[in-house]
């Protein structure tokens, strides 16, 4: 399979202004994300898809490949679907621009899902062990059936623990997706759905149209950049890695 990583990178952000251009120990967030994806060695191509002159300049300055968005899009998936039309690949991996520490193993697990010819869309989840994260609307939760197909994504804690004695693990959805090309190109032809609009979660468009999302479970994914506190955590992590001689 030819596998292409597409990194949607719009300049706007509702919770953290210009977050993809924020400096993380000498490199902007988007450059660290691009380089991390490249360094996994999993992709035939890694391309940043952006609406921003600044982001394009950052990526081209390090020899990266960029596709410019020609208009505004409802979601990152709509943005990369437009870019994917003219790219020859079997599988497209949507690596969020605010994931500067993406790692080999989780992405390898995601790509491996497509060894099953029935899988059209895949994504990643990890266990949540802190109640503050379970309750946070910034952390998207997912519940799956016994075959690891997603049943529902929500910003609310799901499932609701009516029986406190029942064994329960909450799972955080990691916003990294894999698509067969046909499924990715189908997405923008589907109208926004009710749950998608209410939750502001684009993946619900697939579920509401009866398209399964196969999940793989990982123990760790790295630090995503969503709010200001994440920047502090990311810098502390980089300093720790630098001190250990790994940066």
pLDDT tens for residues 142-199? 999 999 999 999 999 999 999 989 989 999 999 899 999 999 999 999 999 999 999 9
Interval 57-78: pLDDT, tens: 999 999 999 999 878 888 889 9
Task: Report the interhelical angle of 53-61 vs 29-39 (nearest 10°).
Answer: 50
Structural domain boundaries in the chain: 3-243
What proportions of the chain, in percent to the nearest 5, are helix, strand and coil? 35, 25, 40
Tell me whether strands 45-50 and 3-9 are parallel, antiparallel or unpaired. Answer: parallel
- Look up the CATH number of domain 3-243: 3.90.550.10
Burial of 170 (0-12, 13-18, 19+ CB in 10 A): buried
CB-CB contact of 244 with 236 (8 Å): no
- Cα separation, 13 vs 152, whole angstroms: 25
User: What distance in Å separates the CA atoms of residue 1 and residue 228, rounded to the nearest whole number?
Assistant: 38
- Integer Cα distance of 233 and 15 in angstroms: 16
Tokens linked to 100: 């500067």
The pTM assigned to this predicted structure is 0.89
Percent of the chain past pLDDT 90, that is, above it, reads: 69
Question: Which position has the token pair 């035939």?
Answer: 44
Res 247 pLDDT > 60:
no
Q: Phi/psi class of residue 245: alpha, beta or left (left: φ > 0; alpha: ψ in -120 to 50)?
A: left
Measured CA to CA, the distance from residue 179 to residue 134 in angstroms comes to 27
């Amino acid at each position: 399979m030819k596998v292409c990583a597409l990194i949607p990178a719009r300049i706007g952000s509702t919770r953290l202004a210009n977050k993809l251009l924020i400096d993380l120990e000498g490199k902007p967030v988007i450059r660290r994300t691009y380089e991390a994806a490249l360094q996994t060695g999993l992709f035939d191509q890694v391309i940043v898809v952006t609406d921003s002159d600044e982001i394009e300049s950052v990526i081209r300055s390090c020899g990266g490949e960029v596709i410019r968005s020609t208009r505004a899009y409802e979601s990152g998936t709509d943005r990369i679907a437009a870019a994917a039309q003219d790219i020859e690949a079997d599988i497209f991996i949507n690596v969020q621009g605010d994931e500067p520490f993406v790692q080999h193993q989780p992405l390898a697990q995601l790509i491996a899902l497509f060894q099953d010819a029935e899988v059209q869309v895949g994504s990643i989840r990890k266990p949540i062990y802190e109640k503050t994260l379970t309750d946070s609307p910034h952390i998207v939760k997912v519940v799956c059936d016994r075959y690891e197909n997603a049943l529902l994504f929500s910003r609310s804690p799901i499932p609701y623990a009516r029986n406190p004695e029942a064994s329960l693990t909450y799972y955080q959805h990691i916003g990294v997706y894999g698509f067969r090309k046909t499924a990715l190109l189908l997405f923008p032809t589907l109208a926004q759905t009710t749950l998608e609009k209410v939750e502001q979660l684009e993946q619900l468009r697939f579920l509401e149209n009866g398209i399964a999302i196969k999940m793989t479970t990982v123990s760790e994914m790295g630090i995503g950049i969503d709010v200001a506190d994440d920047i502090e955590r990311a810098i502390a992590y980089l300093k720790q890695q630098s001190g250990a001689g790994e940066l």
